[in-house]
Amino acid sequence: MKKIAIATSKGGVGKTTTAINLAAGLAHKGKKVLIIDCDPQGNVGGHFNISSEHTLSDLLTEGHQDVIIEVRKNLDIITSGRKRLYDAQRELTKDDFGIFKFGERISFILGYKYDLVFCDFSPTDTLINRAALMFCDNLLLPISPGIDSIMGADRYIDVAMDISVRGNKVIDIFGVLINLYEKQTNISREIDRVSREKWGPKVFQTRIRKNVALGEARIENQTIFEYSPQSNGAKDFTALAAEILNAS
């Protein structure tokens, strides 16, 4: 089971869009995938227009394990609980070992035999994010054209290094993904060049092109493969899923 945090400290770079459509692309290829929404905004459940009686917040505070929702074939989610996730954060701060409680409480999913688990983070550096990062083994960093997104990714690599030391574990960079890419613009080409100079082969060869269909799919509570299977968005996420599977 690969446990992957989708994280950066810069908002608006497509973290949730990446989580949902990459997970859906991998599910289409026969992989069993879980998305855990670690963001109080609750965008994962919102994308599928789904709410649940028990959420990640209830799992962390009260130990409820009936939190997994099947949204598509091979694709499950755990919703965040939105603002109630702040209650869970307070629960985690009650003792010095709170940061380890996420992994303890979520460990029941091992029985589900998932191939990949994606944790969709909020852009702020919260204890929930750090606790989830302690659970994860890999870091996927979405970036978009703009120097701030490079800096945001760098800051989150620092967070991962801090967690690695504290948890006596290794958190690898799973990959850096360029989102909102427009080949005809100087800024996109420059970010592509700078990121590949900085992170080398950790940058995915696949770029996710700027594509209005990705936003429209969200409005329709669909994945890009359901909403517009011939769109550039669907083609790019299909290519990204294939790149990841070929590298495994």
Per-residue pLDDT tens over the stretch 161-209: 998 888 888 899 999 999 999 999 999 999 999 999 999 999 999 999 9
Confidence (pLDDT) at 87: 80
Average pLDDT, the chain: 93
Burial code (b: 16+ CB inside 10 Å, e: under 16) for 106-118 equals: beebeeeebbbbb
Confidence (pLDDT) at 231: 97
* Residues 6+ away with beta carbon under 8 Å from 79: 37, 42, 44, 45, 50, 51, 52, 55, 56, 67, 69
The answer to whether residue 11 scores a pLDDT higher than 90 is no
Confidence (pLDDT) at 97: 61
The answer to whether residue 85 scores a pLDDT higher than 90 is no
Tell me the two tokens of residue 119.
């944790």
Tell me the pLDDT band of 101, cut-offs 50, 70 and 90. confident
The answer to whether residue 124 scores a pLDDT higher than 90 is no
Residue 28 in contact with residue 241, Cβ under 8 Å?
A: yes
Would you kindly state where each structural domain of the chain is located, as residue ranges?
A: 2-247
- CATH 3.30.200.20 corresponds to the domain 2-247: no
Distance CA 235, CA 214 (A): 11
- DSSP H helices, the chain, are 15-28, 43-47, 56-62, 85-92, 101-106, 127-135, 147-167, 186-199, 212-219, 224-227, 232-247
Distance CA 21, CA 15 (A): 10
The backbone torsions φ and ψ at residue 19, rounded to the nearest 5 degrees and listed phi first, read: -55, -50
The answer to whether residue 100 scores a pLDDT higher than 90 is no
This prediction has a pTM of 0.95
Tell me the two tokens of residue 131.
């606790």
Confidence (pLDDT) at 57: 93
What SS3 state is found at 165? helix
The answer to whether residue 213 scores a pLDDT higher than 70 is yes
Tell me the pLDDT band of 92, cut-offs 50, 70 and 90. confident
The answer to whether residue 96 scores a pLDDT higher than 70 is no
